[in-house]
Amino acid sequence: MKKILALTLSLCLILGLAACGGKTEPTTAAPETTKAQDQTTAAPTEAPTEAPTEAPTTAAPAAKVKIGMVTDVGGVNDQSFNQTSWEGLQALAAEDSSFEVKYLESKTDADYQTNINTFIDDGYDLIICVGYMLADATKEAAEANPNQKFAIIDDSTCADLPNVACLMFAQEQASYLVGLVAGSVTQSKTVGYVQGMVSDTMNLFGIGYITGVLEVCPDAQVLQYNANNFGDIPGGNTAAKDMITKGADVIYHAAGGTGMGVINACDEAGIWAIGVDTDQSPLAPEHVITSAMKRVDVASQDISKAVKAGNFTAGVHLYDLSNGGVDLAPTRTHIPADVLKLVEEKKAAIIAGQFTVPTSVDDCPAFTLK
């Protein structure tokens, strides 16, 4: 008896759940035909009021330009390029309502392909893959779907494909500028550097930084550490404390999440930290002197706009000092005026082509990470 009662009860609950699921059928089927007006979670009541006002300006039949972004395993809140890229896309969608932007987070390495295919199946106009970890998955998907447009950040191995735009950044230029700052403000003539991983792309950060430091302070010692990990906050913290013990008074990190630990350690010890990718000043406003900015947001916006305008081009798109793709962070209150002046001069020299920051390990013997 009791069993039957329990069974009926659970059946009722299941049916209730199924009914809930069933109810969504019409609303999820509708977007297939009216996707153009359907905002992310637009309530049905909103549609009639908005449709007439928007229709004349955006010309009713114009479909939305759908931009999909696939993060690497860092996730969308990584305080680094995934986040920057997504913020750029959100800003773009906010200022131009003809863009529809969505992201998918990857939990494991194997999710890249699944997420890219989700966007392909849903007919997105452009798929932005954030980070060189997605290079293989992007290449495979781009070859299998030659009509689908892709953009990938920080990778140039897909440059030969006709449907992939490779958004590259001159990391060494921004790193060189922060190196100048570090070399100028250090008093102990000992500076630190924490790198997330040793690879040709990542080494550019170290080479640029060390070149900059040694240019203004030739007898400076640069303590270097390879965390071999982009998500190891305690590891970054330990490495930075170790450097501080050895006398470092400025530490630069190019290590994603690991760098959070570096900045925390610097904040606690009251020495300067230099951030990377975004303006990391908010993490420790008193002790982040500057950050080597990489405008992933601008790059994502540019390529999205190009898709909308119909002038998408494949191949390498280089973002450097000359087009504002990399630069010092806008927060510059802690940098002494004379240092800032020096940085601006060097920046002008690089843009004018009078000086080239080395990109090879051979040109920077002081760089010891292998």
Q: Applying CB under 8 A, which of residues 87, 136, 267, 268 lies at the interface with other proteins? A: 136
- Site membership for other proteins, residue 121 (CB under 8 A): yes
- Site membership for other proteins, residue 370 (CB under 8 A): no
Residue 369 CB, nearest approach to other proteins (Å)? 13
Instruction: Output the CA–CA distances (angstroms, integers) from residue 141 to 127, 138, 300, in the order listed.
Output: 11, 5, 19
Q: Applying CB under 8 A, which of residues 193, 230, 252, 272 lies at the interface with other proteins? A: 230
User: 69 in helix, strand or coil?
Assistant: strand
- Site membership for other proteins, residue 228 (CB under 8 A): yes
Q: What residues have CB less than 8 Å from 340, skipping those under 6 apart?
A: 332
- Site membership for other proteins, residue 231 (CB under 8 A): yes
Q: Applying CB under 8 A, which of residues 47, 55, 109, 162 lies at the interface with other proteins? A: 109
Residues in a beta bridge with 150:
127, 164
Q: Applying CB under 8 A, which of residues 35, 58, 96, 102 lies at the interface with other proteins? A: 102
**Do residues 62 and 97 touch, judged by C-beta distance below 8 A?**
no
CA neighbor of 156 nearest in space, from 319, 297, 294, 367: 319
- Site membership for other proteins, residue 12 (CB under 8 A): no
DSSP characters over 231-287: S-HHHHHHHHHHHHHTT--EEEEE-TTHHHHHHHHHHHHT-EEEEEES--GGGSTTT
SS (H, E, C) 207-223: HHHHHHHHHHCCCCEEE
User: 35 in helix, strand or coil?
Assistant: coil
The Cα 339–Cα 308 span in angstroms is: 41
- Give the Cβ contact number of residue 355 at 10 Å: 14
Residue closer to other proteins, measured from CB, 155 or 277: 155
Q: Applying CB under 8 A, which of residues 155, 172, 249, 297 lies at the interface with other proteins? A: 155
Applying CB under 8 A, the span of 113-121, 161-169, 279-287, 344-352 interacting with other proteins comes to 113-121
- Site membership for other proteins, residue 163 (CB under 8 A): no
DSSP 33: H
Number of residues that bind other proteins (CB under 8 A): 54
**Do residues 166 and 159 touch, judged by C-beta distance below 8 A?**
yes
Residue closer to other proteins, measured from CB, 225 or 272: 225
- Site membership for other proteins, residue 27 (CB under 8 A): yes
Applying CB under 8 A, the span of 96-104, 239-247, 262-270, 271-279 interacting with other proteins comes to 96-104
- Site membership for other proteins, residue 34 (CB under 8 A): no
- Site membership for other proteins, residue 36 (CB under 8 A): no
64's tokens: 């939305």
Residue 25 CB, nearest approach to other proteins (Å)? 7
Contacts (CB under 8 A) with other proteins, residues 245-264 = 257
Q: What residues have CB less than 8 Å from 193, skipping those under 6 apart?
A: 206, 209, 210, 222, 223, 224, 225, 251, 252, 253, 254
Residue closer to other proteins, measured from CB, 118 or 221: 118
Question: Which residues contribute to the site for other proteins (CB under 8 A)?
Answer: 2-4, 6-7, 10, 13-14, 17, 20-21, 23-25, 27-28, 40-41, 73-74, 76, 102-105, 107-111, 113-115, 117-118, 121-122, 132-133, 135-136, 144, 155, 157, 197, 199-201, 228-232, 257
